[in-house]
């Protein structure tokens, strides 16, 4: 119960900090005129969102950091996860800063963004191979077993990290969508790792930092839910992708990401399918990619798409919990 009490306290603290940071940070972002640009080819219903402050991911980062710093629970794995959250978040911050402050529409060039992600992905994979719960072994969902990847661990995990970070980024396209989905995913990781904390102390640290991100997302959702007062930007979406990746790697539950993070997987897959099919046939399978925009173009209201995706994530979370 002590572990559960710590988790609840961290969630509450990070939630309250994110809740109260909104009225402080959002006016500052407005004064800096860091407004979101809306794609002309996007759904027409999004045009009204033009100028909404972005880079709100700063709120999530600060809330999680302060909650951890005041938790009194400091372990190596906690600070390792926070390092990678801020590392990927920094790449997103640079991209946002160049786009909305320096007014360069493309932000970081694609190769620059990927290079930065590769650096942190390799560092995370190397760290995981030495300091995760089971080294180069990965938990196999539903099998009650692990598989040792050995020399294949680094390249496989780097691939998963890059895929996860960019899939989480793609999921950030509707008010509250990415925030809510990641809230559920991180809460699930916190529950699973907390239930295993007696088997290895590392799980306890992972549960705490997962709880901090969960609470931060919950507080940020108050400002990001439809109609959004602020967007997280790449600052937030890449940071959250780093959070999901880091807790999965250090808990050796990388293979759990496609299950509880099924929405991320579907969003990324829809883009890949769309691009490959269009290059071959000059025709589109989806009315628009990522997948959430397809449903919007089919006539679904934005709030319905978000609600359905949240519900699907909750169902997948229960499946993920059952699989361990």
Around Cβ 119, how many Cβ atoms within 10 Å? 12
Whether residue 227 is preceded by a cis peptide bond, meaning omega within 30 degrees of 0, is yes
Close Cβ partners of 80 (under 8 Å, ≥ 6 residues apart): 127, 131, 246, 250
C-alpha 133 chain-centroid distance: 22
Whether residue 290 is preceded by a cis peptide bond, meaning omega within 30 degrees of 0, is yes
105 labelled ligand-binding: no
Backbone angles phi, psi at 145, to 5 degrees: -150, 170
What DSSP string runs through 36-98? PP--TTS-GGGGGGTT-B--THHHHHHHHHHHHHTTS---HHHHHHHHHHHHHHHHHHHHHII
169 labelled ligand-binding: yes
* Tokens encoding 142: 């539903």
Around Cβ 312, how many Cβ atoms within 10 Å? 15
Around Cβ 100, how many Cβ atoms within 10 Å? 22
Residues tagged in the binding site annotation: 169, 234
Residues tagged in the binding site annotation for Mg(2+): 169, 234
């Amino acid at each position: 119960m002590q572990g559960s009490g710590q988790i609840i306290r961290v969630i509450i603290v990070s939630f309250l900090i994110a809740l109260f940071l909104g009225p402080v940070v959002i006016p500052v972002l407005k004064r800096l005129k860091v407004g979101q640009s809306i794609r002309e080819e996007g759904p027409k219903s999004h045009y009204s969102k033009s100028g909404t402050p972005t880079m709100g991911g700063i709120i999530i980062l600060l809330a999680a950091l302060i909650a951890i710093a005041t938790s009194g629970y400091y372990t190596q794995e906690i600070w390792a996860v926070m390092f990678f959250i801020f590392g990927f978040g920094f790449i997103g911050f640079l991209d946002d800063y160049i786009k909305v402050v320096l007014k360069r529409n493309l932000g970081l060039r694609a190769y620059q963004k990927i290079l930065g992600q590769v650096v942190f992905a390799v560092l995370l994979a190397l760290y995981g191979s030495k300091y995760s719960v089971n080294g180069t072994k990965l938990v196999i969902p539903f099998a009650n077993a692990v598989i040792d990847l050995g020399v294949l661990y680094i390249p496989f995990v780097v691939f998963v990290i890059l895929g996860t970070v960019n899939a989480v980024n793609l999921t950030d396209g509707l008010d509250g969508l990415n925030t809510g989905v990641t809230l559920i995913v991180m809460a699930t990781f916190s529950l699973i790792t907390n239930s295993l904390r007696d088997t290895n102390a590392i799980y306890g640290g992972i549960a705490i930092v997962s709880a901090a991100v969960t609470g931060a997302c919950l507080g940020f959702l108050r400002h990001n839910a439809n109609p959004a007062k602020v967007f997280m930007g790449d600052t937030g979406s890449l940071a959250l992708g780093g959070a999901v990746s880091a807790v999965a790697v250090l808990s050796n539950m990388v293979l759990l990401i496609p299950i509880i993070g099924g929405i991320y997987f579907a969003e990324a897959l829809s883009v890949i399918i769309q691009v490959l099919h269009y290059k071959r046939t000059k025709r589109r399978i989806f009315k628009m990619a990522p997948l959430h925009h397809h449903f919007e173009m089919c006539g679904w209201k934005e709030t319905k798409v978000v609600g359905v995706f949240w519900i699907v994530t909750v169902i997948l979370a229960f499946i993920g919990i059952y699989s361990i």
